[in-house]
Structure formats: structure tokens, C-alpha cells
Amino acid sequence: MIKAIIRIILMPVLMIFRLFLGTLAFITTISSAVIGLGTSLFVILAMVEFFIGYWQNGLALMALALLVSPIGLPAIANFLLKRMDGACAFVEGLIC
């Protein structure tokens, strides 16, 4: 009886949370594609800086390129999304 009441109360919250996670996953996917273009721009600018002799600026731009590349901040965002999805699935498993 109590489990049914908890299920009725939490189901709309979980549905809203799932919709929120889907929206975040969509935004992350689109932003990763756009950021990929920025990564190539940072790498090109870093190479130009290396060739003209400002290697400190080149290293800074390469560090920025690493952060915005698919192995940088987007990977962290995907990791967090997967963990939030796992937590939501765990709660759903408990109440269902």
C-alpha cells in the first residue's frame, strides 16, 4: 500500500527528471559538434603561434584545444549524464 502511494507520488517527478536528462543529452550532443569546430580552430591558431615563435601562447592554445576536444569537458559532461541516468534508473528500480 505504501509502495503504491510512493510510486504514484514519485512517478511524475521521475518522468520530469527523465525529460530533463533527455534535453541535457541533446544539448550536449549538439554542443559537442559545435565545439569540435572550435577545437580545430584552436589547434590551427596554436600551430601558427608555434611557427611565429610565441611557443607559450601555442601551449596555452593547445591546452584550450584539449579542454574543448571530445576527450575534455564534453567527456566529463557525458560521464555525469550517464551517472545521473544510472541514479534515476536505480530509483525507478526501487519503486517499481
**pLDDT per residue over 21-71, tens digit each?**
989 889 888 888 888 888 888 888 888 888 888 888 888 888 888 877 777
Q: Are 66 and 72 in contact (CB under 8 A)?
A: yes
Note the pLDDT of residue 96. 74
| pLDDT band at residue 3 using 50, 70 and 90 as cut-offs | confident
Q: Are 31 and 74 in contact (CB under 8 A)?
A: yes
Neighbours of 74 (CB within 10 A): 20
Segments making up each domain of the chain, as ranges: 23-95
Q: How far apart are CA 88 and CA 86, in angstroms?
A: 5
End-to-end CA distance of the chain: 13
Q: What is the mean pLDDT of the chain?
A: 85
Note the pLDDT of residue 73. 78
Note the pLDDT of residue 19. 92
Q: Does the pLDDT value for residue 83 go beyond 80?
A: yes
- Which has the closest alpha carbon to 57: 45, 72, 40, 67? 45
